[in-house]
């Protein structure tokens, strides 16, 4: 589904990725683990098209990324992204935040995702009225509302307690079993065991 060939990237003189090759199949649940500065977030950003690599080729279902004519439309149809920080809009309630990501989404579909994440009773709350963990779960709901083919997550449980973090990874596992491809960057090796594939990123290379 996704193929990365000889991907390299640097920030000035600092090498972030060095000749990385990776092949991801539909329905894979992959965790990228590694210390801060290892290159895992850079790799996640490149795989999700948020960052263009300095060298190498990237393919999505045999379509080379550089040949995509409308990248915004492509992301809207294919990709969901969960950031380490939630980036919710404070003057919209949680339901409105998710609805904004997909104006065509039916209310029942939004409420179903809220129920999966155990935040259905918070739909009318504003981000400033709830905890950081609850905000992060709302951000996850926002990423799922377009039913993306691939869901990317960068340290998605950084603001969650252990119980809620486990719930999120179990949801990722369920989604991958249903055919969604999940790629997560995390430093939590215990949670990473939920995935069906684990790659360690170290010094810009995959081990």
Residues 76-124 pLDDT 10s: 889 999 887 778 999 999 999 999 998 888 999 999 999 988 899 999 9
Q: Is residue 60 part of a domain?
A: no
Q: Is residue 3 part of a domain?
A: no
How many structural domains are present in the chain?
1
CATH number for 73 = 3.40.50.300
Q: Is residue 5 part of a domain?
A: no
Domain that holds residue 106: 28-51+68-206
Q: Is residue 8 part of a domain?
A: no
- The 10 Å CB-count burial string (b at 16+, else e) for 127-145 is beebeebbbbbbbbbbbbb
Residues in the chain with pLDDT values less than 70? none
Q: Is residue 126 part of a domain?
A: yes
Q: Is residue 118 part of a domain?
A: yes
Q: Is residue 58 part of a domain?
A: no
Percent of the chain predicted with pLDDT > 70? 100
Helices 107-116 and 132-144 pack at an angle, to 10 degrees, of: 130
Q: Is residue 153 part of a domain?
A: yes
pTM as predicted: 0.88
């Amino acid at each position: 589904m996704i193929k990365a060939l000889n991907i390299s990237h640097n920030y000035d003189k600092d090498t972030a990725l060095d000749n990385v090759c990776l092949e991801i199949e539909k329905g894979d649940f992959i965790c990228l683990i590694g210390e801060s500065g290892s290159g895992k977030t850079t790799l996640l950003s490149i795989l999700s098209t948020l960052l263009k690599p300095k060298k190498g080729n990237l393919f999505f279902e045999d379509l080379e990324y550089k040949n995509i004519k409308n990248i915004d439309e492509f992301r809207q149809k294919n990709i969901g992204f969960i950031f380490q920080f939630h980036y919710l809009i404070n003057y919209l309630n949680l339901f409105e935040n998710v609805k904004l990501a997909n104006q065509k989404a039916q209310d029942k579909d939004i409420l179903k995702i809220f129920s999966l994440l155990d935040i259905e009773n918070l739909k009318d709350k504003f981000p400033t009225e709830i905890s950081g963990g609850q905000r992060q779960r709302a951000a996850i709901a926002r990423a799922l509302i377009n039913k993306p083919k691939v869901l990317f997550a960068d340290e998605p449980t950084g603001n969650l307690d252990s119980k809620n973090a486990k719930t999120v990874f179990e949801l990722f596992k369920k989604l991958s079993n249903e055919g969604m491809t999940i790629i997560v960057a995390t430093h939590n090796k215990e949670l990473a065991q939920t995935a069906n594939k684990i790659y360690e990123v170290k010094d810009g290379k995959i081990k």
